[in-house]
């Protein structure tokens, strides 16, 4: 009988030494050439070393147990029945020390070691990921000599792959089943090493994206494997164990086993199908053909998928830039386009016709999108940033040392589109971030030069404040400033300036004070608006009065200036100029309209009436005087009758005709009757008589 575990023990020892060597190599060489991904890979090799160390201990104990069984078998055959060993089995069982140690090892030490490996992988993975995302520490890793690292990692990957296949092949034997765990870890190390070699090759051509991706992914491989081992350890507590049957260790990853032994999945599927259909489906010609052709079919599918990377579909409103090993070579418009497969040529699609929006001065939350009305006294968005705005202190008595600025919050949505895709992609690493920085810079500059209160009413209404109608002009000015800054930005001496972005719309839709001081702002704005309303009302009243006086404000102003000049010429005793201005003033007064025209015409009419009435009175008095002189008595009676006629014209009069001795009085009413009297109605009584 041979000791079968001796070979597995040797393989475990060699694999442990290789894992430790590769751990030290990737750790120090990765730090030397500044490749953080290689540094992170070293801790994966250390995890593999822990697994191989546990396998070495396990197979070494197997060797001791098998050697012990062999010795006890030989001893039981060589001894006669009359010896002290004739009592046999009980005494031999007491001598099986290594076999008991093997049982203790597989029952307690292996599960505890699995938990230790799991805790190591989870802890190291999280610590390494924290180191990767730290921008200060990550900036210290600057790769150099990537080609040298690529060749060395190819060698490491080749050695790991060969030894992984060798260990996995040995694990097909029942006695060497535990080697599958170490083979899976070496296969993972081989795959990660070849990926790292590929990333280093791309980094040589100034494409370090692969190294960045690996730096973020490698720590999570450790975390995922650690979590799986921890779950396996918990499930092993409840998994029944059959004597004489191989019990898979917790640190033997089931996830890695899928890739390490893909044939095992096919056998499992075959047994499942046989059980479900009730006959040997796995023995049919179709299944056997499929089992033989599955690998070529998978490879053909992978090849087809890879060749599909040569086809790109550029949608409407999009444009594509094709890079040849990182160098842009051509642009493609909408439609079906072809290129060399990845990574020879890579296509980047961007919506050049789509209007995109950038929020400046605020950060919008999901709940803010449902709001339709905004008030000064409440918070508008999830985050709003403060701006310093100038304050006009003219004529005010501020406290000594007070800064003439105020704080406002501005919500500025900016809509833009990509006008030059090459400039947008290659002039800056983050063109959108650069655009946002330019917008904030120009908004800050514009805010410190703007004002939040109105100018003096009636002086200059073209430059109103940001809190009023001046926002429209301010939005246009700010849009012009941002577009100018974008077009003038340069990144090199030989390169044309510009960021390749066109500002389509800019809105100052929400310039308001902070919610904490909204009431104070409202009081100030209300007083300013009231002052301006008073001035505007006064101006309107002035225009109304001047228009009523002269027909138009310009004519009245010209007439006023002419009158002032006329008065000054009189004061200067300049008769010629006074006469000239008088004639101009009279001519202007005759042509002016409104109340001035009416007053002048009324005055002229009244003067004409008074003059001619006076002349008429004089002529009438002369005629009366001649009549009086001719017959004073008749003249006096005539005047009396005229007076009575004029005085009694609206008085009701009765004529009484009677003699002195008459007893009956006749009253004659000369007034016209408005209605027929009842006594005058003809009722037809006389005809009846």
**Separation of CA 603 from chain center:** 75
Q: What share of the chain is helix, strand, coil (3-state, %, to 5)?
A: 65, 10, 25
How many residues belong to the chain? 689
Backbone φ/ψ region at 497: left (φ over 0), alpha (ψ -120 to 50), beta: beta
Task: For the beta carbon of residue 530, count every other beta carbon within 10 angstroms.
Answer: 10
Which domains are seen in the chain, by residue range? 5-78+90-260 (no CATH), 364-395+402-417+426-531 (3.30.479.30)
- Give the confidence band of 594 by pLDDT, cuts at 50, 70, 90: low
Q: What is the DSSP string of 564-627?
A: HHHHHHHHTT-HHHHHHHHHHHHHHHHH--SHHHHHHHHHHHHHHHHHHHHHHHHHHHHHHHHH
- Give the confidence band of 26 by pLDDT, cuts at 50, 70, 90: very high
- CB-CB contact of 510 with 380 (8 Å): yes
Instruction: Return all residues near 429 (Cβ < 8 A) that are at least 6 apart.
Output: none
- Give the confidence band of 670 by pLDDT, cuts at 50, 70, 90: low
Average pLDDT of span 352-367: 71
239: its two tokens: 């998994």
Rounded to an integer, what distance in angstroms lies between the CA atom of residue 473 and that of residue 464?
9
Which of 7-21, 180-194, 287-301, 611-625 is the least confident region? 287-301
For residue 471, what are the CA distances in angstroms to 357, 362, 478, 545? 20, 17, 10, 34
Handedness of CA 248, 249, 255, 261 (dihedral sign): negative
Q: What is the DSSP string of 376-402?
A: TTS--SSEE-EEEEE---TT--PPTT-
- Coil, helix or strand at residue 319: strand
- Coil, helix or strand at residue 348: strand
145: its two tokens: 């000599």
Q: What is the DSSP string of 143-161?
A: ---HHHHHHHHHHHHHHHH
DSSP state of 321: E
Query: Nearest to residue 77, comparing CAs of 88, 65, 62?
Result: 88
Query: Nearest to residue 523, comparing CAs of 376, 409, 378?
Result: 376
Pairing of strands 501-506, 510-512: unpaired
Pairing of strands 666-669, 356-360: unpaired
Rounded to an integer, what distance in angstroms lies between the CA atom of residue 375 and that of residue 410?
13
pLDDT at 275: 56
pLDDT at 232: 87
pLDDT at 467: 59
Give the residue, 15 or 309, on which the prediction is more confident.
15
Handedness of CA 26, 28, 32, 37 (dihedral sign): positive
pLDDT at 115: 92
Handedness of CA 108, 111, 116, 119 (dihedral sign): negative
- Give the confidence band of 126 by pLDDT, cuts at 50, 70, 90: very high
> Exposed, middle or buried, 420 (CB in 10 Å: 0-12/13-18/19+)?
middle
- CB-CB contact of 200 with 35 (8 Å): yes
Percentage above 70 pLDDT, the chain: 68
Is the pLDDT at 35 greater than 50? The verdict is yes
Give the residue, 204 or 87, on which the prediction is more confident.
204
Is the pLDDT at 459 greater than 50? The verdict is no
Backbone angles phi, psi at 459, to 5 degrees: -95, -55
Which of 34-43, 166-175, 470-479, 550-559 is the least confident region? 550-559
| Cis, peptide link before residue 343, omega less than 30° from 0 | yes
Rounded to an integer, what distance in angstroms lies between the CA atom of residue 245 and that of residue 250?
16
pLDDT at 455: 47
Helix residue spans in 312-430 (DSSP H):
421-426
Average pLDDT of span 181-200: 90
Backbone φ/ψ region at 395: left (φ over 0), alpha (ψ -120 to 50), beta: left
Is the pLDDT at 666 greater than 80? The verdict is no
């Amino acid at each position: 009988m041979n000791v079968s575990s001796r070979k597995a023990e040797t393989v475990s020892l060699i694999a442990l030494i290789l894992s430790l060597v590769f751990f030290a190599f990737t750790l120090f060489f990765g730090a030397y050439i500044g490749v953080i991904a290689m540094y992170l890979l070293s801790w994966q090799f250390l995890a593999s070393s822990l697994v191989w160390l546990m396998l070495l201990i396990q197979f070494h104990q197997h060797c001791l147990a098998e050697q012990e069984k062999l010795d006890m078998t030989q001893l039981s055959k060589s001894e006669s029945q009359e010896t002290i060993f004739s009592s046999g089995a009980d005494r031999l069982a007491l001598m099986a020390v290594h076999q008991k140690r093997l049982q203790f090892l597989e029952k307690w030490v292996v599960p505890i070691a699995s938990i230790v490996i799991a805790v190591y992988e989870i802890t190291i993975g999280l610590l390494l990921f924290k180191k990767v995302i730290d921008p200060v520490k990550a900036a210290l890793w600057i790769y150099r000599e990537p080609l040298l690292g690529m060749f060395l990692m190819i060698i490491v990957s080749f050695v790991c792959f060969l030894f992984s296949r060798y260990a996995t092949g040995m694990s097909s034997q029942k006695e060497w089943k535990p080697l599958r765990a170490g083979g899976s870890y070496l296969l993972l190390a081989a795959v990660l090493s070849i990926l790292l070699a590929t990333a280093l090759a791309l980094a040589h051509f100034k494409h370090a994206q692969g190294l960045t991706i690996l730096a973020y992914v490698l720590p999570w491989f450790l975390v995922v494997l650690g979590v799986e081992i921890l779950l396996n350890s918990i499930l092993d507590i409840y998994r029944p164990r059959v004597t004489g049957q191989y019990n898979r260790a917790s640190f033997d990853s089931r996830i890695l086993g899928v890739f390490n032994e893909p044939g095992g999945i096919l056998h499992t599927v075959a047994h499942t199908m046989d059980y479900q259909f009730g006959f040997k489906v796995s023995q049919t010609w179709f299944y056997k053909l499929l089992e033989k052709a599955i690998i070529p079919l998978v490879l053909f599918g992978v090849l087809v998928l890879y060749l599909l990377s040569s086809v790109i579909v550029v949608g409407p409103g999009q444009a594509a830039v094709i890079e040849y090993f990182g160098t842009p070579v051509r642009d493609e418009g909408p439609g079906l386009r072809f290129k060399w497969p990845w990574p020879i040529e890579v296509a980047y699609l961007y919506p050049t016709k789509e209007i995109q929006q950038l929020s400046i001065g605020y950060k919008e939350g999901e709940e803010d999108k449902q709001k339709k009305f905004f008030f000064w006294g409440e918070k508008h968005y999830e985050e709003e940033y403060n701006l310093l705005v100038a304050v006009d202190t003219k004529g005010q008595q501020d406290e000594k040392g007070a800064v003439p600025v105020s704080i406002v919050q501005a919500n500025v949505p900016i809509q833009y589109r990509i006008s030059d895709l090459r400039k947008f992609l290659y002039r800056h690493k983050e063109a959108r971030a650069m655009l946002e920085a330019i917008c904030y810079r120009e908004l800050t500059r514009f805010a410190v030069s703007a004002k939040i209160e109105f100018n003096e009413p009636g002086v200059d209404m073209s430059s109103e404040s940001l809190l009023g109608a001046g926002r429209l002009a301010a939005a246009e000015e700010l849009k012009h400033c941002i577009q100018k800054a974008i077009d003038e930005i340069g990144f090199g001496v030989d390169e044309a300036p510009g960021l390749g972005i066109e500002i389509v719309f800019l809105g100052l839709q929400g310039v308001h004070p902070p919610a904490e001081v909204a009431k104070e702002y409202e009081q100030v704005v209300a007083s300013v608006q009231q002052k301006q309303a008073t001035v505007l009302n006064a101006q309107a009243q002035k225009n109304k009065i001047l228009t009523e006086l002269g027909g138009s404000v310009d004519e009245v102003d010209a007439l006023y200036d002419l009158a002032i000049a006329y008065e000054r010429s009189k004061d200067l005793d300049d008769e010629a100029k006074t006469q000239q201005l008088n004639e101009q003033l009279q001519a202007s007064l005759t042509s002016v309209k409104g109340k001035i025209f009416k007053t002048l015409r009324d005055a002229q009419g009244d003067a004409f009436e008074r003059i001619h009435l006076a002349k008429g009175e004089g002529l009438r008095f002369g005629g009366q005087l001649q009549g009086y002189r001719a017959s004073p008595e008749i003249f006096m009676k005539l005047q009396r009758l005229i007076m009575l006629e004029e005085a009694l014209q609206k008085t009701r009069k009765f004529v009484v005709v009677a003699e002195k001795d008459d007893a009956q009085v006749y009253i004659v009413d000369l007034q016209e009757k408005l209605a027929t009297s009842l006594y005058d109605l003809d009722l037809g009584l006389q005809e009846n008589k």
